[in-house]
Amino acid sequence: MKTLIALLTLGSLAFAGEKQLFNGKDLTGWHGQLEFWSVQDGAITGHTTAEHMVAENTFLIWDGEAGDFELTFKYKLTDMDGKSDKFGNSGVQYRSTVVKPEYSVVAGYQADMECGKTYSGILYEEKGRGILAKRGEKVVVKQSDNPKKPTLEKTGTLGTSEEIQAAIHPGEWNDYKIVAKGNHLQHFINGKQTIDVTDETAEGAKKGVIALQLHKGPTGMTVQFKDMVLTTAD
């Protein structure tokens, strides 16, 4: 009996930091330019058209912060025609900072996703240092004389960009996982690791907001998120 109690206690501790970020019904716990965001079919939905376009990349921001965590969620991204062969670009910001509250603009690490065949899964730093790791790359980000242009040292591979793309379901639901622990960052799509980054620079954020992106574009798009679970150590 003592052994069983101990195991149950350990199990509860392991999940003590688990949070559902989205209640499946409304945008409670989130804020942003709500004329572009709603809940449809049980999913957070961001939508633009050519006639109703964001002025710049805008974000739906969670009312909290996270440092070391694992975030899992499902996403679906389609273009203006409900397909996946034209414009459509989004991402999930983490350890980020709100830089223009009036327009819900944030800066920081981004787990990227798109309708195209190049950027889904990369590590991008919005309004910062740009692409820190392409798909399939293991990278150490090192300090340089210019904080906006760090030295990117490629230390290994996780597979080709084409292999990673083959695991993605265009225009359908996909599973995404972000793991951030200390200065070590990892992204996974449908169980396949897309990047592995160690950020050794002073600019590497250790804590910040989580936010969902609607990218400005020439045409409209729709992005949806659901089953968003954040697991932290506390």
- Nearest Cα neighbor of 166 from 187, 186, 140, 192 is 192
User: Given this model, what pLDDT does residue 2 score?
Assistant: 43
> What is the C-alpha separation between 182 and 95, in angstroms, rounded?
11
Per DSSP, helices labelled H in 74-167 are: 161-166
Q: Is the dihedral of CA 138, 141, 142, 148 positive or negative?
A: positive
> What is the C-alpha separation between 53 and 46, in angstroms, rounded?
11
The whole-model pTM stands at 0.91
Q: What amino acid is encoded at 102 in this protein?
A: E
157 is written with which tokens? 């591979």
Domains defined for the chain, CATH in brackets: 19-232 (2.60.120.560)
User: Given this model, what pLDDT does residue 81 score?
Assistant: 79
Q: Quick one: how far is CA 233 from the chain centroid? A: 19
pLDDT (tens digit, 0 to 9) for every residue of the chain, 234 residues total? 444 444 343 433 344 589 999 999 999 999 999 999 999 999 999 999 999 999 999 999 999 999 999 999 999 999 987 777 778 999 999 999 999 999 999 999 999 999 999 999 999 999 999 999 999 999 999 999 999 999 999 999 999 999 999 999 999 999 999 999 999 999 999 999 999 999 999 999 999 999 999 999 989 999 999 999 999 976
The C-alpha angle 28, 173, 32, rounded to 5 degrees, equals: 30
Q: How far is CA 156 from CA 110, 139, 189, 195, 197, in A?
A: 21, 7, 19, 10, 10
